[in-house]
Amino acid sequence: MQDTLGAFVPGPIIQRAPYSAGSLSGLSFAVKDLFDVAGGVTGCGNPDWAATHEAAKADAWAVDTLLGAGASLTGKTVTDEISLGLLGINKFYGTPLNPRAPDCVPGGSSSGSASAVAGGLVDIALGTDSGGSVRIPASFCGIYGLRPTHGRISVAGMMIQAPSFDTVGYFARDALTFGRVGAVLLGQQMSDALPAEIIVAADCFALADEPVRRALQPVVDRLRDAAATTVSALAEGELLDWAHHQRILQRSEFHATFRDWIDRVNPRFSSEVAGAFADEGRIPSSDIAAARTFRESASKRLDDLLDGHRMLCLPTSPILPIGRDARLSDIRAAVHRIVDLTGIAGLTGLPQVNLPIATSGSIPVGLSLIGWRGGDAALVGAARSLAREFSVGQFEELA
């Protein structure tokens, strides 16, 4: 395999044959370099992290599980430094190519995984998602991606960033593969079915830029024909509060995670990533306490709303992918905008799937469904069902 996309981590290639035949036999997968593969250092997208950590002694749970299901590991993929970033920019190892929009960022932080899947270098890839790191590269690269319910898939052997947000996610190009991998990682068979009701979150769509809304509108219109659908605001006038509290809590957690390592190592970061530590220790504890209270009530609100049979429909990203040569101020503005929408499932710990269902010109535009807590299999099933129903774009690949 020739890595024409800059999707794989430079250096020695880590590969593994499957343990046994299984439902994923014949499929290849790559893993974000945030997952341990025994014998190599988990580099986490930063050379100073790589230089100050030992080789992994065991495989991460998710790696082990895919190998056990018959898939072959073909390498580790580039990630935003220590998973902080949503655009896929890495100043040390290069920004992986977005095969569907070569002038644009691939999205991150699971950038190389999305790039490798979208570009056909592998069938499947593992990513991580704390603030949008699977959902955004899936949307920008035009592929399927799942962020599961928080705690649903084991994070054993994965770099911790913000423990109450971190999840193991994955990517696939087609709905068939997407479902098969989901069944393995969730340990659960799934049926292709739409939920009893889909709520189109009007206030989420209102936050999206015009090209995103224009690209998704026909899909939403078809959805309303295909499924029981209502249109309503998720949090009339207060939606931005969700992201605000996600930012406070996630930041306070990753500061705690990395504080001692940064102090010990004085690591190099891009200015983008260094900026995430600029206010270190300056988040008032009263803000953190208020965010925790908000999180509890927001989670309850969504649990009550979705209630084991409803799903929420929203744009995965409110913006199109920005250019690869964007200025730092544009990078920061884009990340801020994105979290306005990814913060909803992030803050509440709910599962979310990206459907590669539309384009703006040739640029992919992803639609998302957020499922109820623990309803991951139903969510993947709904994605497969919509793929069959719609037969648009990547959906055609489902026979």
User: Which member of 72, 133, 368, 385 is catalytic?
Assistant: 133
Q: Among candidates 263, 206, 250, 283, which has minimal Cα distance to 85?
A: 250
Query: Has 317 been annotated as catalytic?
Result: no
Q: What is the DSSP string of 53-110?
A: SPBPSS--HHHHHHHHTT-EEEEEE--SGGG--SS---TTT-PPP-TT-TTB---SSS
Per CB under 8 A, which region of 152-160, 314-322, 325-333, 386-394 contacts its own copies?
Answer: 325-333
CB of 267 to its own copies, least distance (A): 6
Tokens of 327: 């200025």
**Sole window of 100-108, 129-137, 198-206, 277-285 interacting with its own copies (rule: CB under 8 A):** 277-285
Q: Site residues for its own copies, window 81-140 (CB under 8 A)?
A: 89, 91-92
Catalytic residue, from 28, 32, 317, 385: name it: 32
Nearer to its own copies, 28 or 90 (CB): 90
Q: Of these residues, 72, 83, 109, 110, which one is catalytic?
A: 109
Tell me whether residue 5 or residue 331 sits nearer to its own copies (CB atom). 331
115: annotated active-site residue: no
Q: Of 49, 381, 387, whose CA–CA distance to 194 is shortest?
A: 381
266 is a contact residue toward its own copies (CB under 8 A)? yes
The yes or no reply on residue 328 touching its own copies (CB under 8 A) is yes
Question: Of 270, 316, 354, 394, which one interacts with its own copies (CB under 8 A)?
Answer: 270
Say which amino acid occupies 95. Answer: T
Cα 232–chain centre separation: 25
* Stretch binding its own copies (CB under 8 A), from 13-21, 163-171, 258-266, 391-399: 258-266
Return the SS3 of 381. Answer: helix
Q: Does 307 bind its own copies (CB under 8 A)?
A: no
Cβ neighbours of residue 243 under 8 Å, at least 6 residues apart?
339, 340, 341, 342, 343, 344, 347
> Which residue, 214 or 327, is less far from its own copies as judged by CB?
327
CA within 13 Å, CB half, 322: 20
Total Cβ atoms within 10 A of residue 282: 8
Q: Which is nearer to its own copies, 33 or 272 (CB)?
A: 272
The answer to whether residue 28 is catalytic is no
| Alpha-carbon span 374 to 348, nearest angstrom | 12
Task: Decide if residue 277 touches its own copies (CB under 8 A).
Answer: yes
Nearest distance from C-beta of residue 315 to its own copies, angstroms: 26
Q: CB neighbours of 238 closer than 8 A, spacing ≥ 6?
A: none
**Sign of the C-alpha dihedral, residues 149, 332, 32, 107?**
positive
Q: Select from 124-132, 216-224, 268-276, 302-310 the region that touches its own copies (CB under 8 A).
A: 268-276
Q: What's the token pair of residue 355? A: 């459907």
Q: Does 329 bind its own copies (CB under 8 A)?
A: yes
Instruction: Rule CB under 8 A: say whether 327 interacts with its own copies.
Output: yes
Q: How many residues bind its own copies (CB under 8 A)?
A: 24
* The pairing of beta strand 72-77 with beta strand 144-147: unpaired
Q: Note whether 336 binds its own copies by CB under 8 A.
A: no
Binding residues for its own copies, per CB under 8 A? Answer: 48, 89, 91-92, 262-272, 274-275, 277-279, 327-329, 331
User: Annotated catalytic sites, by residue?
Assistant: 32, 109, 133
